[in-house]
């Protein structure tokens, strides 16, 4: 079946359908990861986005139920150069194409993804419509792309957050494999089990797994839960998760973060959680031209001058000109110099723009979980 991706600037990319039949729309972005396509598909931070993979062959190791990062695929659509029809992996439950069809996800292949990526780098992330069928009208699809809402101004967190608080139970986590070699062991665990209250803005499963292996019990709260509910469990620390959309639109989350930073409880945030904390502390955010998405982004830790290779997925960043004096920048992106980490100078609050839990990606930044453990144990 034919497939077309129509961008708001009028460009058309043709290919073949490799997923469900139909039509979808969203912000078109690209991801530079060589592997981890299933984790990308199921990352809630991609809600509202059509993701293009820059690696030329996707799907060669299939799909396994143990590698998902949420209950279902979260991307609006999926674009690849070549979708492997085979799954060469003893862990695979199905092929990529079978997974896409089973989850009603519109996807296309045989696309010049190099040309598409160059367009997105030059023009910036754009609205687009991905459609399959025989008699597609490209001009109509372009008009539809121009009519969909822009990512700026959208609160997508309410669509992906949990409905009610729950305690993470590792024993009931069907995504955990029994094979120990697939679990990255931390350098150290907490001396005693620590209690973490976590805001779910679109949290990836591997964040919960990493907290567990570091010795933490996590209770997850909806994004709109009032701070009093989190503090009522007398947590040793509070966590702000990743998620989709425009951080500046999350008035409720920013207000909650502002209140919690005054509670003298260690706070750790990543990705959207980093942006929410920055806004709560007085900074502002802005939209990046095409964002940072991939498992190979270099970040410098300013205190040690070490470079970490990181996993990233975000389209907004913190404006360095607006960071207040009581907050220091701890990490910077070596591609474009944008802020990748912040720490409050007097309260136990810190956050990073990237994903220390990886999945997919390297484990260079896993030490940040240890820093959170240290902060919690010092106040116990």
**Choosing from 27, 39, 69, 357, which is the catalytic residue?**
357
Q: How many residues does the chain have?
A: 380
Where helices occur in the chain by DSSP H, the ranges are 37-41, 96-102, 113-123, 138-147, 157-160, 205-213, 227-231, 251-260, 272-280, 367-378
Beta-carbon contacts of residue 231 (< 8 Å; ≥ 6 apart): 197, 260, 263, 265
Q: Is 357 noted as a catalytic residue in this protein?
A: yes
DSSP E strand stretches across the chain: 2-7, 12-17, 23-31, 49-53, 57-58, 77-79, 82-83, 107-109, 126-132, 166-167, 194-200, 216-222, 237-240, 267-270, 285-301, 306-318, 327-333, 339-344, 349-352
The label of the residue with tokens 């007398």 reads 234
Q: Is 271 noted as a catalytic residue in this protein?
A: yes
**Choosing from 27, 271, 292, 314, which is the catalytic residue?**
271
Cα–Cα distance measured from residue 61 to residue 44, given in angstroms and rounded to the nearest whole number: 22
**Choosing from 256, 314, 331, 355, which is the catalytic residue?**
355
Beta-carbon contacts of residue 271 (< 8 Å; ≥ 6 apart): 45, 241, 242, 243, 313, 314, 353, 354, 355
Cα–Cα distance measured from residue 319 to residue 135, given in angstroms and rounded to the nearest whole number: 45
Cα–Cα distance measured from residue 140 to residue 92, given in angstroms and rounded to the nearest whole number: 39
- Return the exposure string of 242-273: e unless at least 16 CB atoms fall within 10 Å of the residue's CB, then b: bbbbbbbebebbbebbbebbeeebbbbbbbbb
Q: Is 371 noted as a catalytic residue in this protein?
A: no
Closest CA to 109 of 67, 161, 164, 53: 53
Cα–Cα distance measured from residue 47 to residue 49, given in angstroms and rounded to the nearest whole number: 6
Q: Give whole-number Cα distances, 128 to 18, 149, 152, 161, 260, in Å.
A: 18, 11, 15, 25, 38
DSSP 8-state secondary structure symbol assigned to residue 322: G
Cα–Cα distance measured from residue 20 to residue 275, given in angstroms and rounded to the nearest whole number: 34
Residues marked active site are found at 271, 355, 357
């Amino acid at each position: 079946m034919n497939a077309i991706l129509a961008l708001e600037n009028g460009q058309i990319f043709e290919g073949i359908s490799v997923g469900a039949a139909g039509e979808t729309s969203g912000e078109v972005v690209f991801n530079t990861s060589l592997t981890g396509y299933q984790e990308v598909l199921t990352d809630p931070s991609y809600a509202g986005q059509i993701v293009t993979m820059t690696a030329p062959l996707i799907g060669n190791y299939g799909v396994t139920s143990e590698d998902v990062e949420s209950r279902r695929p979260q991307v609006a659509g999926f674009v690849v150069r070549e979708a492997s029809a085979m799954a060469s992996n003893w862990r695979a439950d199905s092929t990529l194409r079978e997974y896409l069809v089973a989850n009603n996800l519109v996807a296309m292949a045989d696309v010049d993804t190099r040309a598409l990526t160059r367009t997105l780098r030059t023009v910036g992330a754009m609205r687009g419509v991905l459609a399959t069928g025989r008699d597609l009208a490209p001009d109509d699809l372009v008009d539809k792309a121009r009519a969909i809402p822009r990512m700026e101004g959208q609160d997508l967190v309410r669509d992906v957050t949990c409905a009610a608080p729950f305690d993470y139970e590792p024993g009931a986590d069907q995504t955990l494999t029994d094979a120990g070699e697939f679990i990255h062991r931390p350098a150290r665990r907490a001396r005693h089990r620590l209690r973490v209250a976590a805001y779910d803005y679109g949290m990836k499963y591997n964040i919960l797994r990493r907290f567990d292996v570091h010795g933490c019990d996590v209770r997850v709260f909806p994004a709109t839960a009032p701070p009093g509910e989190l503090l009522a469990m007398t947590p040793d620390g509070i966590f702000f998760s990743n998620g989709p959309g425009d951080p500046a639109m999350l008035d409720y989350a920013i207000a909650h973060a502002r209140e919690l930073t005054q509670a003298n409880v260690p706070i750790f945030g990543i990705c959207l959680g980093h942006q929410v904390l920055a806004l709560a502390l007085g900074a502002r955010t802005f939209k990046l031209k095409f964002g940072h998405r991939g498992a190979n982004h270099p970040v410098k830790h300013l205190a040690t001058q070490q470079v970490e290779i990181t996993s990233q997925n975000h389209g907004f960043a913190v404006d360095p000109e607006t960071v207040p004096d009581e907050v220091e920048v701890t990490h910077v992106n070596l591609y474009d110099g944008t802020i990748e980490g912040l720490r409050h100078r007097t309260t136990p609050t810190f956050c990073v723009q990237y994903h220390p839990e990886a999945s997919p990606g390297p484990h260079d930044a896993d030490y940040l979980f240890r820093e959170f453990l240290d902060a919690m144990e010092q106040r116990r």
